[in-house]
Amino acid sequence: MQTSEITDPYKWIISQTVERVKETLSELGYEVDLNTLLELVEEPSVEAYGDFSLPLFKIAKKYKVNPIKLASNIVENLSSKMPAYLIDVKNVSGYVNFYINYPEATKLLFNVVRNLGEKYGYVPVDKPKRIVIEHTSANPVHPLHIGHGRNSVIGDTLARLLRKRGHIVQTRFYVNDLGRQVAVLLYGYINAGRPKPPENIKPDKWLGQLYAVTNTLIEIYELKREAEKTKEADEERYRELVARLDTLLAVASELRSVNPELFDILAENLKSKDNEAEIQELMKKLEYREDPKLEEDLRRVVELCLKGIRETLRVLDIDFDKWDYESDLTWSSHVKKILEIAFNSPYFTYYKNAPAIDLTKLANKDLYRKLGIRLSMEIPPLILQRSDGTTLYTTRDLAYTLVKFNDFKADMVINVIGAEQKLPQAQLKLALYALGFKREAVNLVHYSYEMVNIPGMKMSSRLGRMITLDEIIELMLEKARREVEKRTTLTTPEEREEVVKAIAIGAIRYTLISTSATKPVVFDMDQALSFETNAAPYIQYTHARANNILRKHREKYGEINWETIDYKAVEENRKRKQLVKLALKYPSTIAKAADDLKPEILVEYVNKLADTFNSWYQEDPVIHELNPGKRNLKAAITYTIKIILANTLETLGIKAPPRM
């Protein structure tokens, strides 16, 4: 293979080595599949044991030979005709340890980087998939909060990663406009006289206030009625209700202080109504399209909220290919078809006096493993309709899942949804399987994530107590502005503000994606804005430093002279070798992050790269190197690291300012 055809130099070195091992094993009478050998390759935890190694125990066991003897034979064979990209090979207790020839590997790396330029690191898969990623999908009743922010950043980063891997990706936002929360908001909107939001407030923020007031007042009136009924009959229950009522009245007082006029209108208009019954009736009318005026009100309120949500997402550089409305799905034939299939299914049953799909019949370990469902999970039947004939969210989600697969001809659908939805998502998979949509069930992925905690803060969107993403963005912009004023040499206000935005938004995105989705995130604003380590500003600052070194090199010596690089000099400094190895591994790292759907792998890598680069250039300066061959080597390393840092930040949706 020509150097111009190589996109993953580290993988190429390993593949070439393993092919030689396979040939050696074949000469010894042991036929082993190349992929089997590649899967066995690992990286030693101790640097002295080489750059990568091949344990031979499985192969030795299969052929009933001594692994140490087998390793010795392989080492002897390779040592007699050492490949150019290896400098040594050793047998250590049944492991064959390989040591990279760093001058040759560095030459290979630079050739690949020069050939690919800014595309270095992106290795397309042999068979691209069509993948739908549904993410964010916040109920349109209030602004996005920090938890939605994690969902959005995860979904957008997955889309970026998978596209870099060559997959064809479509992102979708599911607008849940027929759920109870929207019905409560709409009910409040109508009872408040269909007011317009003030011009000096974001529409989603104003609607969030309207939703919280409506919800709180409904709960207060319901509790008052229940307390009155139990006052004489059940003293303990009465005291419990009064305590809850006191809490809600305190919340109501807070809400009234924000918007007294709106609060007082709703307090008066909801006081004597059977609010729950009217909300249920409203939901029924919407689902069955019994009132055109109600539909107009619904769309007006939902679009107002989405306008604010879109504005927030644009700040985070997040957009969607498609916005899907639950109402459109329900008003079309999609949900009706699902119900028809379900009613005629052998899994159809009645559960709690409601039509359902009996998922207990599918409770077997093999199927659960196939669908990625936890074996210990107890999954009840999936109820399809309420007693009044209206459908449930998961029923509509069945129809929506099929739309996502069919509309995009998708091979895979990824739903980025919180961990608290594990049961509904498992029900969704099993119901699809039960209704005959087996391919869809197998290729539907619930990308589960845990909550975001902000020290000292608790949220309740229902009661209007929430930390909006807009508030976090504003706070981070203020903090970033102070940091930039302290540190920057930028002269124009426009440049400074551009860097402020890049730092603040980068800090938010990095923090929300850097921890595995299976673990909660503690959002510490000061740590998120760190210029020292493990934060977006730190990576951005490292990129700017590398860019600055290269600028100074051009001013003093001109462009890098790739033809006069002293490749042997890479071995003079341990950190030079470490940087070369990290750079060699970049394409494999980004591929693994995409294939495993784990962006945190890329985050961990880039932080280690930045740490190594920052400690290296301070002890091994580029510009002050007098030897031209060594100076060009150092400049080429810096150029390579700069490309990797820029590409990684771009893949994570973070801007890489050339100067900071």
Give the integer Cα–Cα distance in Å for 106 and 570: 8
In a domain, 463, yes or no: no
390 & 292 share domain:
no
216-253 burial: b if 16+ Cβ within 10 Å, else e: bbbbbbbbbeebeebeeeeeeebeebeeebeebeebbe
Collect the ranges in the chain with pLDDT lower than 70: 1-2, 456-465
151 & 251 share domain:
no
Residue 623: Cβ within 10 Å count: 16
What CATH number corresponds to the domain at position 14?
Answer: 3.30.1360.70
In a domain, 462, yes or no: no
Nearest to 506 by CA among 629, 608, 651, 405: 651
Give the integer Cα–Cα distance in Å for 415 and 449: 11
In a domain, 111, yes or no: no
503 & 601 share domain:
yes
Supply the pLDDT for residue 465: 64
Supply the pLDDT for residue 328: 96
186 & 297 share domain:
yes
Nearest to 128 by CA among 171, 170, 174: 170
Give the integer Cα–Cα distance in Å for 522 and 451: 9
Please write the tens of the pLDDT for every residue from 568-624.
999 999 999 999 999 999 999 999 999 999 999 999 999 999 999 999 999 999 999
277 & 363 share domain:
no
In a domain, 551, yes or no: yes
339 & 409 share domain:
yes
Supply the pLDDT for residue 464: 52
147 & 186 share domain:
no
In a domain, 124, yes or no: no
What CATH number corresponds to the domain at position 597?
Answer: 1.10.730.10
In a domain, 542, yes or no: yes
Show Cβ contacts of residue 269 under 8 Å, excluding neighbours closer than 6 positions.
Answer: 191, 192
512 & 647 share domain:
yes
What is the number of domains present in the chain? Answer: 4
477 & 606 share domain:
yes
Final residue belonging to a domain, choices 400, 423, 453: 453
Give the integer Cα–Cα distance in Å for 638 and 485: 27
Task: Identify the domain containing residue 69 by its residue range.
Answer: 3-100
590 & 477 share domain:
yes
Give the integer Cα–Cα distance in Å for 644 and 494: 27
Supply φ then ψ for residue 215, to 5 degrees.
-65, -45
445 & 350 share domain:
yes
What CATH number corresponds to the domain at position 364?
Answer: 3.40.50.620
In a domain, 227, yes or no: yes
Supply the pLDDT for residue 499: 95
513 & 428 share domain:
no
Final residue belonging to a domain, choices 288, 315, 342: 315
Token couple for 21:
């091992």
In a domain, 659, yes or no: no
Final residue belonging to a domain, choices 284, 315, 346: 315
Phi-psi category of residue 352: left, alpha or beta, with phi > 0 → left and psi -120 to 50 → alpha: left
